């Protein structure tokens, strides 16, 4: 991935994306909790794809933003299509492009159409931004070939600090339509709970192939641990993260920040 230098003439969306890139890919960390949580999520997401797909497989990355997952997958040898509602970000991604097969298909994810189906669709940190997560997962499934995969990450709705509503408890999700598609944590509508995943999968015509909870409050810099992260060796943070993976399932659902799911289309 090519490093980039910000310019005065950059569009607003580029200028807003660049600080995230400093934490996510360029290593100039200002928020350790955010950076460590992102790196955890990136490792798990890539593994969920590379465990089941060979290089050359076609992957659609929906709502891909500044394209860091798209670029990483292209560099690993996958045939990647980048998508985001903000079409002007495509040229920002092109600035960072270094190698691999990368295509661009900006637009509303609910309206996407392609001449052929994908081996996998990637939906990272997006389903919590839509008013109809059931319809969104079904749309993603419609873009995947039989036997293909959807890989999803999203904040864990069962995490003890979460105060947002459950999707399954909402009588009329349409009331949130005016708020959907907003970026960053302020745009979260529902945070899915682990026990909501199976019903959503069945409705979308996919099965749950693998589900995991990860990233503890220390790793994420929550409960006022950001200052501690700045002086704690990364090896110790990683060791504590590994220990929390051994917690009983009911404690993981309360104590861990992130949820990752690999679905398979039947």
Q: How confident is residue 183, by pLDDT bands cut at 50, 70 and 90?
A: confident
Mean pLDDT of 165-177: 94
Q: Whole-structure pTM over 0.85, yes or no?
A: yes
Q: How confident is residue 107, by pLDDT bands cut at 50, 70 and 90?
A: very high
pLDDT at 169: 95
Mean pLDDT of 100-105: 98
* Whether the predicted pLDDT of 185 surpasses 90: no
Lowest-confidence pick of 15-24, 175-184, 238-247: 175-184
* Whether the predicted pLDDT of 184 surpasses 90: no
* Whether the predicted pLDDT of 252 surpasses 90: yes
Mean pLDDT of 121-127: 97
pLDDT at 110: 94
Give me 94's structure tokens: 């092109």
What fold does the segment set 12-265 form as a domain? Rossmann fold (3.40.50)
Q: How far apart are CA 240 and CA 134, in angstroms?
A: 34
Q: How far apart are CA 79 and CA 57, in angstroms?
A: 6
pLDDT at 120: 98
pLDDT at 101: 98
């Amino acid at each position: 991935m090519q490093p980039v230098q910000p310019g005065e003439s950059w569009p607003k969306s580029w200028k807003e994306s660049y600080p995230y890139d400093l934490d996510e890919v360029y290593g100039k960390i200002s928020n350790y909790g955010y950076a460590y949580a992102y790196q955890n999520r990136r490792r798990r997401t890539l593994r969920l794809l590379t465990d089941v797909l060979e290089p050359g497989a076609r992957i659609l990355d929906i709502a891909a933003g500044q394209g860091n997952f798209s670029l990483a997958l292209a560099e690993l040898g996958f045939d990647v299509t980048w998508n985001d509602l903000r079409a002007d970000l495509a040229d920002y991604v092109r600035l960072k492009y270094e190698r691999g097969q990368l295509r661009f298909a900006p637009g509303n994810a609910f309206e996407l159409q392609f001449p052929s189906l994908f081996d996998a669709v990637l939906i990272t940190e997006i389903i919590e931004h839509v008013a109809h997560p059931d319809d969104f997962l079904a749309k993603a499934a419609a873009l995947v070939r039989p036997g293909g995969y959807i890989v999803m990450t999203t904040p864990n709705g069962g995490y003890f600090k979460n105060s947002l509503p459950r999707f399954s408890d909402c009588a009329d999700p349409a009331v949130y339509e005016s708020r959907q598609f907003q970026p960053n944590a302020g745009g979260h509508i529902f945070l899915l709970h682990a026990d909501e995943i199976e019903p959503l999968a069945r409705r979308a015509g996919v099965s749950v192939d693998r589900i995991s909870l990860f990233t503890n409050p220390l790793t994420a810099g929550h409960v006022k641990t950001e200052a501690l992260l700045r002086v704690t060796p990364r090896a110790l943070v990683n060791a504590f993260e590994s220990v929390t993976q051994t917690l009983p399932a009911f404690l993981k659902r309360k104590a861990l920040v992130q949820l990752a799911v690999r679905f398979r289309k039947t």
